[in-house]
């Protein structure tokens, strides 16, 4: 059993490792579902961690239908992740019909070379998940992150179980989204997954004493991975 923690920044990555995570998925901008973190963030996290680091490769918020320029940016980000010694990248691209964009994804997988490749939750908005899974397997991806096409993985447990059966060991199904420690054992039992993805985040209140109330868009508080919540998830996964 393996626990991957989704981390928005270096602080979250360090908390994930402290709490007992087996792997970190690093990204930026969690409020929009995640985008590629900066080169500095990737480098700092890789230098600080002793557990595997997978980097989200997503050039912007919104859909997963990418232009040529956006594809080129993703290729550069993957090359950087390779150079910095990361263990994996997390990709995903769809065409206008909602199918896996095999041409773009093939380029991204090739750029990753020896790195593990996870197909991200673009999978959850694909037109036909069974067809999408076969396309992802054919691309040579290591795993698929999915909530079973629902807002939270526990709600999509029946679909996830079907994907595990369809994959039949050809690709790892990584269940993620909205998973708490209390839900780990029931989800594992219902689906047969061996890997869990969670954020385990908590609110952080800024230590700044001065706040300009007139500038409301600049929120000084944030959310960050909580090592205690990670520890609870890790313990629940071991028991499952």
Q: How confident is the model at residue 219 (pLDDT cuts 50, 70, 90)?
A: confident
Q: How confident is the model at residue 66 (pLDDT cuts 50, 70, 90)?
A: very high
Say if residue 213's pLDDT is above 80.
no
pLDDT in the model for residue 205:
81
114 pLDDT tier (thresholds 50, 70, 90): very high
Three-state DSSP class for residue 91: strand
Q: What is the pLDDT of residue 119?
A: 98
pLDDT of residue 168: 97
* Mean pLDDT to the nearest integer, 84-101: 98
Give me the pLDDT at residue 150, please. 96
Name the residue ranges covered by the structural domains of the chain.
2-239
Query: What is the tens place of the pLDDT at every residue in 7-45?
Result: 999 999 999 999 999 999 999 999 899 999 999 999 999
User: What does the H/E/C string look like for 119-173?
Assistant: ECHHHHHCCCHHHHHHHHHHHCCCEEEECCCCCCHHHHHHHHHHHHHHHCCCCEE
pTM of the model: 0.93
The percent of residues in the chain predicted with pLDDT above 90, rounded, is: 89
Q: In the prediction, which pLDDT does 203 show?
A: 82
Question: Span 79-83, mean pLDDT?
Answer: 98
Position 234 scores a pLDDT of 97
Average confidence score pLDDT of the chain: 95
Q: What is the pLDDT of residue 216?
A: 62
- Out of 3.20.20.380, 3.50.30.30, 2.60.40.1250, 1.20.120.550, the CATH code matching 2-239 is 3.20.20.380
> In this model, does residue 228 exceed pLDDT 80?
yes
CA distances from 47 to 6, 21, 35, 42, 44 (A): 18, 17, 21, 9, 5
pLDDT at 95 over 80: yes
**Strand ranges, E, within the chain:** 2-8, 23-27, 53-56, 88-91, 116-119, 143-146, 172-176, 195-198, 201-204, 222-225
The pLDDT of 179-205, averaged and rounded, is 94
Convert the pLDDT of each residue in 122-161 to its tens digit.
999 999 999 999 999 999 999 999 999 999 999 999 999 9
């Amino acid at each position: 059993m393996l626990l991957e923690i989704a981390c928005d920044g270096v602080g979250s990555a360090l908390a994930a490792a402290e709490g007992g995570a087996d792997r970190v998925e690093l990204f930026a901008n969690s409020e929009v579902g995640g985008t590629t973190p900066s080169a500095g963030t990737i480098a700092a996290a890789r230098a600080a961690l002793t557990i595997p680091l997978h980097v989200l490769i997503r050039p912007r918020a919104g859909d997963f239908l990418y232009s040529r320029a956006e594809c080129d940016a993703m290729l550069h980000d993957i090359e950087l992740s390779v150079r910095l010694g990361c263990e994996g990248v997390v990709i995903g691209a769809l065409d206008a019909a909602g199918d896996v964009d095999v041409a773009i994804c093939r380029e991204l997988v090739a750029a990753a070379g020896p790195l593990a490749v996870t197909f991200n939750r673009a999978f959850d908005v694909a037109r036909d998940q069974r067809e999408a899974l076969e396309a992802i397997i054919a691309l040579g991806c290591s795993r698929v992150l999915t909530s079973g096409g629902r807002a939270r993985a526990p709600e999509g447990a029946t679909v996830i179980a079907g994907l595990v059966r369809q994959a039949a060991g050809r690709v790892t199904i990584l269940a993620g989204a909205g998973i708490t420690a209390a839900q780990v054992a029931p989800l594992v039992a219902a689906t047969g997954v061996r890997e869990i993805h969670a954020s385990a985040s908590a609110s952080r209140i800024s230590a700044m004493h001065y706040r300009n109330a007139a500038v409301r868009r600049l929120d000084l508080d944030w959310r960050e991975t909580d090592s205690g919540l990670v520890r609870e998830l890790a313990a629940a996964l071991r028991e499952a």
